[in-house]
Amino acid sequence: MHVRVAANQGGSRVTLADANTCSRERFVEALGCVFEDSPWVSKLAWDRRPFASVEVLHAAMCQVVTAASESQKLALLRAHPELGARARMSAASAGEQSAAGLDRLTQEQYDNLLDWTGEYRRLYGFPFIYAVKGSTVDDIMCALSVRLDSTRDHELAQALWEVNRIAWFRLEQIFAAG
């Protein structure tokens, strides 16, 4: 399968065929942005080539995360920016948050989001992670309010599920027909 892709964060182009035959360094350069500030996922997924499809590539990357130590998983989660934070973040995160309207919050919404995400981080030890693609600010706030009443084990699993979902959306964007 030879799929042309859009430019990734590094500005380079890659196809699935390229991903299956390129060096580890090139693979990480092209796909290291899929998991927020965690190129180690791509580095380890490279060993699982060849990938029959983007879905198989995604599954391999998710398996790397599943097999990671708890400290690696927590580092992966902590690499994600706070939702709505007006701080430096990756271009991918900034675009995703902007599309969900998190860059256009009223002051009251912004204050509430900061309070709730701060409480979430205090409770669970990592930021609230939500795959925002296709969601509204109300959807995000509703999910956050529900997840504030969860257990840490459930939230760890949920946050990793959300990270994998974000990775899928990023792979879809990278491997969109160009």
Q: Please, which residues have CB within 8 angstroms of residue 58's CB and are 6 or more apart in sequence?
A: 164, 167, 168, 171
- 80 is a catalytic site residue: yes
Report the distance separating Cα 61 and Cα 96, nearest Å: 20
Helix 152-174 vs helix 70-78: angle between axes, to the nearest 10 degrees? 60
Report, in angstroms and rounded to the nearest whole number, the Rg of the chain calculated over CA atoms: 17
Q: Which helix (H) or strand (E) holds 17?
A: helix 16-21
Dihedral, 64, 41, 131, 120 alpha carbons, nearest 10? 90
Catalytic-labelled residue, pool 2, 58, 80, 154: 80
* 8 A C-beta contact, residue 96 and residue 166: yes
* 8 A C-beta contact, residue 94 and residue 43: no
Active-site residues: which are they?
A: 80
